[in-house]
Amino acid sequence: MSTPESERPPERELRSGDGWVTTGDGRRFWGLEGAAGLMLLDPRRGVLLQHRALWSAQGGTWGFPGGARDIGEDAISAALRESHEEAGVPEAASDIEILATHVLDLEVWSYTTVIARTRRPVEAKVNDPESLEVRWVPIDELDDYPLHPGVASALPELLALLNDHS
């Protein structure tokens, strides 16, 4: 029995930070140097969510565009690069204002959520096979989506940080 095409990762060259990290309790996380994602707010349209490809970790859930940090890459650069690769978000500082960061630190692996606001309208689009869909979602509707478990658990803190900068 073969795996359907939609459930297989595409063939691509590995980046320097690609690979699995295993925590002491056996959990596996993608990104040898950790990972980062972008929680991007458009004040008129809401937060940009990515519907994750079925073959990806926690596939089929909704989260923020993001992924593994390259070796030597800081979290903000990684979040901007990944959101550009996956959702067509511009990487230019003139388009996005960085507001804050939130770090989940598991000692051997970390995930940094970069919280930002658009400076001008950003037309996000599916830009690679890691995204089934990208969509602007009003903040009060975020709980209506089957969120990636990491996003769901951090969402109250992330929204509080966002509100601190509104």
When computed from its CA atoms, the radius of gyration of the chain, rounded to whole angstroms, is: 15
The pLDDT tens digits for 18-68 are: 888 888 898 887 788 889 999 999 999 999 999 988 888 787 899 999 988
Q: Thinking of the domain 19-164, which architecture would CATH place it in?
A: Alpha-Beta Complex (3.90)
The pLDDT tens digits for 129-150 are: 888 999 999 999 999 999 999 9
SS3 for 42? strand
The pLDDT tens digits for 68-97 are: 899 999 999 999 999 999 898 987 778 899
Say which range, 3-7, 40-44, 122-126, has the weakest mean pLDDT: 3-7
- Measured CA to CA, the distance from residue 88 to residue 40 in angstroms comes to 12
What is the model's pTM? 0.86
What distances in angstroms separate CA 51 from CA 36, 92, 136, one per listed residue? 16, 24, 11
Terminal Cα-to-Cα distance of the chain (whole angstroms): 52
Question: Is residue 85 within 8 Å of residue 55, measured between CB atoms?
Answer: no
- Measured CA to CA, the distance from residue 93 to residue 147 in angstroms comes to 28
